[in-house]
């Protein structure tokens, strides 16, 4: 059994972390390596590039640039300039002001993307993507010595693997991944996968001697995805489809057929909750922008709430002006420790800032069991916010009433937090183990049925073979008797002719 993910995105990370919380040890393979996979997660690209486990990412000012070029950076992004002309965009691993390089997008003289340099957790250039007229056409992967080990043609999908002085050709990514999985001798009897693209193609390409499970986390709009319907209409290794979005499951569970080639069920994620909500009138807003929706009205509508507004950068004069309110505390250039302390001492989070989300603010508030509220036009991670806690921009009073009611009634706050967790698909360790256990039992049951069927087939074939051998080995009395009678008749006919 293995986990097979196309990318180690947030959902895949949550899936792996849920297994960790449930004490389930399942080997994990990620098809596409971004250079920062955890040590315990494998990848075919990571394997053939052969970098070690060292964790020394490249700091932004250590990037080698042409002579007379200069680097400028903020907490979330960097740029390379040749005098006044921008020549590259630098993308960091995270937006927490650590400024560790993940990718550098180099531009031509017209400002168009020319190629991308990919850096890994060792701070080394491990891949390079070439761009032609805005389309990525070729990607080369290198080992720690700078030697090219994989050539990936992004338009046609072909892959060349330069392995031990042998050049191996693969028509597509799925073939390459399958070759790697077999080379590493992974147990492929049951694959957990969570996309309907490359990981599904790998499952379809394997021999039909396993039982796989699709874990589906993406939002479904009007209809089921076409590839999901394919799995339903055709007999493949995929026998189970598990919905991980609770809202979608409630919408679709009674519409799904029960006479197809797969069965359906629900399983969310296990989220850590180190503490409960203590109903303190302390609210947090994390922002790197001074554009905070109706902040004046919000602060004035709730004079009994202390608003802690933190940024990991400097604050503008517009935001600093809120010092005039007694119930506002500002934290410019906040450290990670300061923000952690705010999350420990606050029980309300307001997702009302415009611009990018920083430090996974909403998710962090969810895991701390903070009551999360926001406006329709400012939501950053709606998965963790109950729809009843989302308001129109002109409904500040309704938001204030919701917060007041929650802080004044323990039962009300408990119900709001429970609803928030339910809609996010938050499940217990026991629930998680039960569903995964059922999938494994059904896989084993299916395997046993297949084994019994093969034994029965072998028995039938053996009986048929024995019957045939018996017929071949029996002494042919009937044939001999008939032959003798025919001979006697001929002899009598000859005697009669002689007498005449």
392 beta partners: none
Quick one: CA torsion of 252, 253, 259, 264, rounded to 10 degrees?
Answer: 110
Indicate the length of the chain as a whole number: 500
Report the pLDDT value the prediction gives residue 466, as an integer from 0 to 100.
42
CA 317 to chain centre: 41
CA 202 to chain centre: 16
Rounded to whole angstroms, how far apart are CA atoms 265 and 253? Answer: 8
Tokens read off for 344: 């420990």
Computed from CA positions of residues 30, 34, 35, 36, in that sequence, does the dihedral angle turn out positive or negative? negative
Rounded to whole angstroms, how far apart are CA atoms 7 and 31? Answer: 6
The interaxial angle of helices 198-205 and 173-183, nearest 10 deg, is: 60
- Backbone φ and ψ of 36, nearest 5°: -130, 30
- Nearest CA-CA partner of 191 in 31, 18, 50: 31
Report the pLDDT value the prediction gives residue 500, as an integer from 0 to 100.
46
Q: With beta carbons less than 8 A apart as the criterion, state whether 83 and 61 touch.
A: no
Average pLDDT for consecutive 10-residue bins of the chain (500 residues)? 94 95 95 94 95 91 93 91 94 88 95 96 96 95 94 95 92 96 94 95 87 93 92 93 94 88 94 95 94 94 95 91 94 92 96 91 96 95 93 94 95 96 95 91 52 45 41 46 49 52
Rounded to whole angstroms, how far apart are CA atoms 63 and 75? Answer: 16
Sole residue written with tokens 């039909």: 208
- Nearest CA-CA partner of 44 in 127, 129, 103, 124: 127
Q: With beta carbons less than 8 A apart as the criterion, state whether 370 and 359 touch.
A: no
Rounded to whole angstroms, how far apart are CA atoms 96 and 313? Answer: 10
Report the pLDDT value the prediction gives residue 492, as an integer from 0 to 100.
52
Report the pLDDT value the prediction gives residue 274, as an integer from 0 to 100.
94
- Nearest CA-CA partner of 49 in 64, 37, 65: 37
Report the pLDDT value the prediction gives residue 441, as an integer from 0 to 100.
76
Sole residue written with tokens 């053996």: 462
Rounded to whole angstroms, how far apart are CA atoms 368 and 284? Answer: 12
């Amino acid at each position: 059994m293995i986990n097979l993910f196309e990318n180690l995105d947030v959902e895949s990370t949550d899936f792996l972390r849920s297994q960790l919380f449930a004490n389930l040890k399942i080997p994990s393979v990620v098809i596409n390596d971004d250079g920062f996979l955890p040590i315990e997660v494998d990848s075919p690209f990571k394997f053939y590039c052969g970098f070690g486990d060292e964790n020394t990412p490249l700091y932004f000012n250590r990037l080698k640039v042409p002579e007379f070029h200069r680097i400028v950076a903020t907490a979330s992004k960097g740029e390379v300039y040749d005098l006044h002309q921008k020549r590259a965009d630098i993308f960091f691993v995270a937006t927490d002001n650590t400024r560790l390089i993940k990718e550098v997008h180099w531009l031509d003289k017209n400002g168009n993307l020319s190629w991308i340099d990919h850096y890994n957790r060792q701070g080394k250039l491990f891949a390079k993507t070439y761009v032609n007229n805005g389309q990525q056409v070729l990607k080369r992967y290198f080992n720690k010595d700078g030697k090219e080990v994989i050539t990936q043609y992004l338009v046609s999908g072909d892959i060349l693997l330069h392995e031990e002085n042998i050049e191996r050709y693969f028509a597509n990514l799925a073939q390459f991944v399958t070759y790697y999985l077999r080379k590493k001798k992974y147990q492929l009897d049951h694959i957990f996968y969570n996309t309907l693209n490359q990981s599904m193609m790998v499952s379809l390409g394997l021999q039909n001697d396993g039982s796989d499970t699709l874990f589906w986390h993406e939002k479904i709009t009007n209809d089921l995805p076409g590839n999901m319907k394919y799995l339903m209409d055709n007999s493949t290794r995929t026998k189970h489809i598990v919905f991980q979005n609770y809202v979608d499951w409630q919408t679709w569970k009674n519409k799904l057929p029960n006479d197809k080639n797969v069965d359906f069920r629900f399983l969310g994620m296990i989220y850590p909750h180190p503490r409960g909500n203590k109903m303190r009138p302390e609210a947090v807003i994390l922002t790197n922008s001074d554009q905070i929706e109706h902040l004046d009205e919000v602060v004035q509508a709730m004079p009994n709430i202390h608003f802690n507004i933190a940024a990991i950068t400097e604050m503008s004069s517009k935001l600093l002006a809120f010092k005039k309110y007694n119930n506002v505390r500002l934290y410019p250039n906040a450290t990670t420790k300061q923000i952690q302390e705010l999350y420990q001492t606050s029980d309300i989070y307001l997702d009302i800032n415009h611009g990018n989300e920083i430090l996974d603010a909403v998710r962090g508030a969810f895991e701390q069991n903070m009551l999360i509220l926001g406006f329709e036009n400012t939501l950053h991670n709606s998965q963790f916010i109950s729809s009843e806690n989302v308001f129109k921009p002109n409904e500040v009073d309704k938001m204030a009433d919701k917060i007041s009611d929650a802080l004044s009634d323990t039962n009300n706050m408990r119900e709001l937090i429970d609803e928030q967790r339910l809609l996010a698909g938050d499940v217990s360790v026991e629930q998680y183990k039960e569903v995964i256990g059922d999938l494994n039992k059904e896989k084993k049951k299916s395997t046993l049925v297949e084994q019994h069927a093969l034994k029965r087939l072998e028995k039938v074939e053996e009986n048929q073979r024995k019957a045939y051998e018996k017929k071949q080995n029996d002494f042919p009395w009937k044939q001999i008797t008939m032959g003798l009678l025919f001979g006697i008749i001929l002899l009598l006919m000859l005697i009669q002719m002689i007498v005449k």
